[in-house]
Amino acid sequence: MKRISASWARGIALVGFLGAAGPSWACSIALWYHVVPASQQTDVPLNAHVSLLVIRNPASSFTWVHENSNGSVEDVPFTLSWRPGNGTHENVELVPDAPLAANSQYRIELKQQGGDPITLSSFTTGNSQDGTPPAVPSVTVGKIVPYVPPEEASGAECFVGTGFARLTASSEGAATYLLHEGETLLAAGLPADASLAFSCPAADREIRATLTAVDLAGNMSEPVPVTFEQRCSRSSRLGGCSTSGSAGGLMLAALAWLAMTRPSRKTG
């Protein structure tokens, strides 16, 4: 029997917090999380931001730890803010209050009440800051999947009351994305491939949004327009089970990443 690698072990430990969800997720992929910088990532810029998709829990807290070369550790002061992620998971961003040390090891920990800290990511910095924005993203709108009305649902159908728009985005240098509709931030922390979920029943409508690529240092590309449909009317019956879903407005449902990969408040 093969031994479980450290990254797989971390992933399994995270399932309870990052992958646990309500009944609407019964058919979803188990590991649902998004962490950048990814674990074991090197040459991370000294002005790096940390972005995660997690289940928001008032009893949980984050710690940013600097592992010194002499074996000692110290906490890194940072600003924490929450942004839309999806109906269950939200995007949290950690921004250090000062530039990180060069060629140093850092780790991001999550602690739940009564539990031991869980390492979400462990990475090594390079020797410079990054002030160059990522490339303007390219976006492809894929299949639009309307919702399954409760009266039509069967055992093979999941996420009743939720529809999806499939999006694929790419940008050289991007770590995350921001999706805006006008001034409203619809989703953040969006990986390259995603399913955007919307609650139904509701009126079918065209969504005119913009997508902005963001790199590890928080530099933003120029936004690009993206138009897709919110479809809550079913013209034909769809079988099978979606691989992603959420409830509570148009939000992001991030694809599983196995690589370890209301106001702001100060944490330190």
Largest CA distance in the chain: 65
pLDDT at 131 over 50: yes
Which of 121, 89, 120 is CA-nearest to residue 14? 120
Domain 6-131+258-267 listed as CATH 3.65.10.10: no
Work out the pLDDT band at 146, boundaries 50, 70, 90: confident
pLDDT at 33: 65
17 closest CA partner among 43, 44, 45, 53: 53
- Tokens at 92, concatenated: 């949290």
SS3 19: helix
pLDDT (0 to 100) of residue 94:
97
Q: What is d(CA 179, CA 175) in angstroms, rounded to the nearest whole number?
A: 14
What is the reported pLDDT for 157?
Answer: 61
The average pLDDT across 177-181 equals 93
Residue-wise pLDDT for 28-69, tens only, equals 333 346 799 999 999 999 999 999 988 788 888 999 999 998
* pLDDT surpassing 80 at residue 9: no
Fold of 138-253: Immunoglobulin-like (2.60.40)
Strands (DSSP E) contained in 113-254 are 118-124, 138-145, 162-170, 176-181, 184-188, 193-199, 205-214, 224-230, 251-254
pLDDT above 50 for 198: yes
pLDDT at res. 152: 79
pLDDT digits (tens, 9 = 90+) for 79-120: 999 988 755 578 899 999 999 999 999 999 998 877 888 999
Q: What percent of the chain has pLDDT over 70?
A: 72
Is it the case that residue 128 has pLDDT exceeding 90? yes
Q: Where in the chain is the domain with CATH 2.60.40.10?
A: 6-131+258-267, 138-253
**Could you tell me the CA-to-CA distances from 153 to 147, 204, 244 in Å, in that order?**
10, 20, 17
pLDDT value at residue 21: 32
Highest mean pLDDT out of 125-139, 155-169, 199-213, 226-240? 125-139
Does pTM top 0.85 for this prediction?
Answer: no
* 245/249 Cα distance (integer angstroms): 11
Residue identified by tokens 């879903």 is 245
In this prediction, residues 239-262 reach a mean pLDDT of 33
Question: Higher confidence at residue 247 or residue 206?
Answer: 206
Whole-number pLDDT of residue 209: 95
Instruction: Judge whether residue 239 has pLDDT over 50.
Output: no
